[in-house]
């Protein structure tokens, strides 16, 4: 099954718009693929969507370049000199690595399920609803806590592991939303909204980069032209960069209520289309 330049560009837009918003990029990509007449569980199609995520991750790397350079620099200084190992950035670098391990293990072990039975659109519908409920719970708990939220500099190892592990929900259940799960978990851990969002971005880098590189062989080895892969990835990068800048401004002053409402509305529309046979 092949993907033309036009379809690749459209899927790149969808990926860039939805990867970091708490609306589920996987759900939107699967819907877009179905509308385009692509088989959502086809190996090459699954690989293509994973590869163009690298464009969105590249946007994170560029947007947070100074932060990443600071963290990586602290990590190397700590490796070389013991007196630098109390630096929070040094420890956070190790925490990102450790928090990536659970999602890698589950991703490899459950790949046949993720690419097969869990790739269906009815699973997406259920996951949209479940993810919305989780986000609503996190918002309610955050509003009712009355505590002073912790900043990014107060993030702990436990925070990183719990938030990183929460990404598994989106890995197994397309529609749950990786960003929605990780940001909501950050709120439940007592982080402020901006800190939870930034940590979610940092924790996404190794997991999504690894997934994209792992799937590259299937995308290139299939019927999908290299030109389509490049176009989809580039478009994803450009759109995602704008979304990152907007989202960080948005979360500083707003709750996720609008996204929860949108997700539930999408679940209703999608289930109607599936029931009517307009999508399969």
**In this structure, what DSSP letter does residue 191 have?**
B
**Contact present, 182 and 167 (Cβ < 8 Å):** yes
pTM of the model: 0.89
Q: How many domains does the chain have?
A: 1
3-state helix, strand, coil in the chain (%, to 5): 80, 0, 20
Residues in Cβ contact with 187 at an 8 Å cutoff, skipping those fewer than 6 apart: 138, 139, 141, 142, 193, 196
Residue 195, domain extent: 5-276
CA-based end-to-end distance of the chain? 17
Tens of pLDDT, residue by residue, the chain (280 residues): 688 899 999 999 999 999 899 998 888 988 898 888 888 777 778 788 888 888 998 999 999 999 999 999 999 999 999 999 999 999 999 999 999 999 999 988 998 888 788 888 899 999 999 999 999 999 999 888 877 889 999 999 999 999 999 999 999 998 999 999 999 999 999 999 999 999 999 998 888 788 777 776 666 666 778 899 999 999 999 999 999 999 999 988 889 999 999 999 999 999 998 998 887 7
């Amino acid at each position: 099954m092949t993907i033309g330049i036009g379809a690749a560009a459209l899927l790149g837009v969808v990926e860039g718009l939805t990867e970091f918003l708490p609306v589920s990029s996987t759900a939107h990509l699967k819907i877009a693929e179905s509308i385009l007449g692509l088989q959502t569980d086809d190996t090459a199609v699954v690989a293509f969507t994973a590869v163009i995520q690298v464009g969105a991750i590249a946007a994170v790397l560029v947007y947070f370049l100074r932060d990443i350079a600071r963290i990586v620099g602290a990590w190397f200084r700590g490796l070389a000199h013991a007196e630098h190992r109390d630096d929070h950035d040094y420890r956070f670098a190790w925490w990102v690595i450790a928090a990536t391990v659970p999602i890698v293990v589950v991703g490899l072990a459950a790949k046949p399920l993720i690419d097969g039975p869990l790739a269906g659109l009815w699973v997406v519908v259920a996951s949209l609803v479940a993810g919305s409920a989780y986000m609503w719970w996190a918002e309610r708990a955050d509003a009712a806590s009355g505590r002073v939220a912790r900043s990014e500099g107060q993030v702990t190892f436990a925070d990183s592991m719990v938030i990183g592990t929460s990404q598994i929900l989106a890995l197994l259940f397309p529609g749950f939303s990786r960003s929605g799960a990780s940001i909501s978990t950050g709120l439940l851990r007592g982080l402020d909204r901006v800190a939870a969002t930034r940590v979610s971005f940092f924790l996404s880098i190794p997991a999504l980069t690894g997934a994209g590189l792992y799937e590259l062989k299937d995308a290139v080895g299939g019927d999908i032209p290299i030109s389509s892969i490049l176009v989809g990835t580039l478009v994803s990068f450009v759109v995602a960069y704008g979304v990152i800048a907007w989202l960080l401004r948005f979360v500083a002053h707003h709750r996720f209520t609008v996204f929860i409402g949108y997700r539930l509305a999408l679940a209703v529309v999608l289930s109607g289309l599936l029931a009517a046979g307009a999508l399969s």
